[in-house]
Each structure stands twice: as C-alpha cells, then as structure tokens.
Amino acid sequence: MTTPILELRQATKLYGGVPAIESVDFSLAEGEIHALVGENGAGKSTLTKVMAGVVSLSSGTMLIAGREVVPRTPLEARQLGIAMVFQENSLVPSMTVAQNLFLGQEKFYNRLRGIYIAAQQFLQSLNFDVTPTATVAQLGAAKKQMVEIARAVLHEAKVIIFDEPTASLTPEEKKYFFDLVRELKRRGVSVIFISHALEEALLISDRITVLRDGRHVVTDDTANFDRARVIQAMVGRDLSKTLYAERKAHVRPPGERVLTIENLRMAPMVKNNSLSVFAGQVTGVFGLVGSGRTETFKIAAGILKRDFFHGGEIVLRGRPIRYLTPAPAVRDGIAYVTEDRKVEGFFETMSIARNVYMGLLAKLGHRRPLVLAKEAEAVGKKWIEALNVRAIGQDVKVVELSGGNQQKIVIAKSLVQEPTLIVFDEPTRGVDVGAIAEIHQLIDRLAEQGNAVVMISSYLPEIMARSDRILVCRQGKVVEEFSAGEATEEKIMYAAIH
C-alpha cells in the first residue's frame, strides 16, 4: 500500500477541555477525492482546520507523505502543500479579484496590468465567469466562492480542502466545479470535500469518512455507501424517509392573500416582477443566482428599496406598503430570515439570549427603550428550548455555535417578533441534516398555524418536498408557477434556465 499523502493519527483537539475532535484517524491517498461528512458540530471543520494550520492538535500526530509535521499557521500548511477553501469567505473585500488571487505571492514590483491579464487567463482556464478587475465586495456569494477556489488551485497545492464549496453555486456552476475537481484529481492533487449535500459527496468522491460528535464513525469506498447509509452514520438514526420526501402527501389549500407584488422594479435585479403569497401555505421560490428572488423579498421586507419612479406596488393584506427601512415591516409582521447569516443574521460576539432579544427589541422599537437583562434571559431560554438549540447555555456566543444552531438563532430572532409573513432565504444552507429536518418541521408548523411562509431555496429536492406551490424566477421576475403536484425537477429547472 502506498503511503498516504496526508494522515492524522489519534487526532484530538480540545476547546476549554471539551473535545471538538477526539482520537480521529484519517488518511488521504494521492489523487483521491475524499468526502468528509457529518452533522454540524461533528468536528469536520476542526479536523480540516488542523490540516490547514489554522488550529493545532491537542494530542495526536499529523503526517504528510509519511513525515510528521506540525503546521502552526496557514502559511506553514500552504508551504507543506495544503490549501483550504473556507466556508466563511476569506477574501479581502476592498481588493480586486486579481489582487486576491495573487495575495501572498506578490513580487517586489507588481505590474497591475500583468496581474489582471494572468488572472483573466487563469479564471478562463477554470471556466469561471468572474471579472478580474472587479472589487470582491461587489461580487455575489457564488462568485466569491469561485475566487476562493481559483486561489487554492493557483497555489498549486498538493492537498486542497473544500469546506462547503458548492453551497452558493448554481447548478451550472456546480457542474463546472465538479469538472474542476476531477481535473485536479487527474493532475494528482488530493481533495478533501466537506459538503452537506450528500448527493454531491456520493457523486464525486472516491471515499467517504463520516464523523459524529467529534468521533470517527466510518470510512469506506463511496461505492459501498448509499444516501440512507450515510445519513444513518451521520445522525445515528434513519432520516432519509422524512427529510426530502419525494412529494408532499398533502397540499395545504391557499388562505387569505397576504402579500401581492405587482410589477416591482429594482434595476437591474428585479424587472417587472409580480407574485402573490397566501396564508397557510409554503410558497417555494426557486431561481438561479441573480434571478432577483432574494431582492424581491428584501424589498418587501424593507431591506432594499424599489425604483423610486414607477417601481411597482407591494400590497400587504390589501394595504399598499412601501418600507424605507426594515423596522416598519417588522412591526407589520414581516420577517426575513437571511441567506447570509454570518453577515446579516446575528451579532456573532453577542450571546444567544441577546441576539434573540435583539429581534424582540426591533419589533418593540421605542416602546422598549431599555434593555431588560432578565427579559433577555427569559426570551433566550424560551427560544433555545423551542428550537432545540444545542448549546451549553444561553450566554454562549453565537460564533461558537455550529452552523445549524446559528441558523436556529437567526430564525428565533425573527420568530420572536411573532410575524405572520415569514420569508426563509436558503434556510438550510450550510446546515447539517439533523438541523435541516428540524427547520423543515418548523416551516411546516408555521404554515399550518396559518402564517404565510415563503421559502427561497436553490436546492430542488427541498423546494419540491416542502412547498405547496412553487414559483420559478428568471432574470428578475417570476416566470412560472407550479403546484406541488405537477412540479418535477426537470420542469422547474427548465423554467429557471430557458
């Protein structure tokens, strides 16, 4: 047997005495695509951060090509041939795409034009449609992800770790990405691939390692896995039947028309968009990145503004509305649960209780001029229990929680406002399967209580399993509506692309 290019033996990492990973064995062969799966909090990120030199092991050893190494910084890891594409964006927003690509590889004298030309050629070779002269801050989530990936490839790493690389990519972009990963494999590069989309792991990887609660559960060839076995290994229980049922067994009938959007415009993203949302139903909204779906509902929630002149009409329960800030929308019962929880969803250094309480304060406004510590504690406690947030206590900072639990906090922050129209934007992006099931149950429960629920998602099985009606957006407007009964993945995708 050949020596693994990367190996971890009995790897343990303790945070304040609590193990994030414990006695984990892991090996990666040369030219192998190895998927690392597990619920949020299972220890995947910690394991890969150890490899990438972001954190050091508390005990255990790490070997590269049979040689024991202890990378203390990402730079040291990179010099050892290990690069990591982080789930959280690690680009410098004020710099251009090209500057970000060559960051750390600058020469004494850098000719900007030369960098741009090189970046252009390199991005084109990867089939990535990103302008090298664009500032990173101007890019959407998908394009930022592309730049991250391109940077790792550019550094000619022997091992590239992708943490949730496809979460913000469109289906077409995902295809390019998979082709790229296969090309890396052909060149002899080893890839560690962390993803919550199990189909992707099953599709692209050679081997799969499953972690649960910081411990190694199983490693096997992908051919020996199916979806049910992976899920069972991840959560210790069989969720496959309930998570993405092929089709809803019962479609909820429409209630009162809660929201009507008529000919909404916000150049250049929203173009003459019209739709309705009904009480007692989950309205699924599907579209590729840039289709204007998020922007449409952000306008309804007062986060973005429509065009000033002839920007269309938004009607909430028969009353025309035009919010200039989110506060009046919150008071009128509209909640928008963001797709980008790390940037827009919570205050990461504040406690769970304070974050949830912040949502309540947003609703109460001037009626609650003082922050009442006891009330904040009570609210935090209530919602930790209600949404089954797994945390040591309500004083834990949100940044210390796993992705699934962070998402629950974002949702709690909105639900504490007792909204009647709730817009979930990518509610399960970067969330483990256990939390996905809980969030889905919550979405169903909210609709059954008579609320109008909108679920924006790029994940077709999720849209099809949860929605009572499905709206498809393309180029800034709704182009097609499907009932839950008639929708198929092919029909939805056709409407979204053609």
Partner 1 sequence: MIAALRAFGDRVLGRGEAAITVPIFDGALKPNQMLADAEIVGQFDDANDITTDGKALLVADGEQVVRVGDAGKAEITRFDRGITALHALPDGGFAVALGGAEVRIVGGPSDGRRWTDAGGTAFHAVNAICNRSDGTLAVTDGSRRNDCAHWTHDLMERGASGRLIFLDRGSGAAREGADGLEYAFGACASGAETLVSESWRHRLLAIGPQGRRRVVLDRLPVYPSRLVAAAGGGFWLTAFAARTQLVEFVLREPAFRRRMMKEIAPEHWIAPRLRSGQSFLEPMQGAHLRTMGVLKPWAPPRSYGLVIRLSPEGTPLYSLHSRVDGINHGIVAAAEIGGFLYMLAKGPSRLIRLALPDIEKEVAA
Min dist. Cβ of residue 276 to partner 1 (A): 5
**By C-beta, is 258 or 401 nearer to partner 1?**
258
Q: Rounded to an integer, what distance in angstroms lies between the CA atom of residue 254 and that of residue 462?
A: 20
Q: Rounded to an integer, what distance in angstroms lies between the CA atom of residue 399 and that of residue 289?
A: 27
Encoded amino acid at 183, one letter: E
Min dist. Cβ of residue 207 to partner 1 (A): 45
Min dist. Cβ of residue 450 to partner 1 (A): 13
The 3-state secondary structure of 217-272 reads EEEEEHHHCCHHHHHHHHHCCCCHHHHCCCCCCCCCCCCCEEEEEEEEEECCCEEE
Min dist. Cβ of residue 225 to partner 1 (A): 37
Report which of 155, 76, 89 is spatially closest to residue 342, judged by C-alpha positions. 89
Encoded amino acid at 193, one letter: F
**By C-beta, is 197 or 315 nearer to partner 1?**
315
**By C-beta, is 108 or 308 nearer to partner 1?**
308
Tokens encoding 249: 């067994």
Min dist. Cβ of residue 439 to partner 1 (A): 25
**By C-beta, is 17 or 253 nearer to partner 1?**
253
Min dist. Cβ of residue 311 to partner 1 (A): 7
63 within 8 A of 14, measured Cβ to Cβ: no
**By C-beta, is 302 or 359 nearer to partner 1?**
302
149 within 8 A of 103, measured Cβ to Cβ: no
Which residues contact partner 1 (rule: CB under 8 A)? 253-257, 260, 262-263, 274-276, 278, 308-313, 315, 318, 320, 322, 469, 471, 478, 481, 483, 485-486
**By C-beta, is 218 or 315 nearer to partner 1?**
315
**By C-beta, is 313 or 344 nearer to partner 1?**
313
299 within 8 A of 267, measured Cβ to Cβ: no
Q: Rounded to an integer, what distance in angstroms lies between the CA atom of residue 20 and that of residue 1?
A: 31
Min dist. Cβ of residue 257 to partner 1 (A): 7
The pairs formed by 323-328 with CB atoms below 8 angstroms and a separation of 24 or more are 326/301, 326/302, 326/362, 327/302, 327/362, 327/365, 328/302
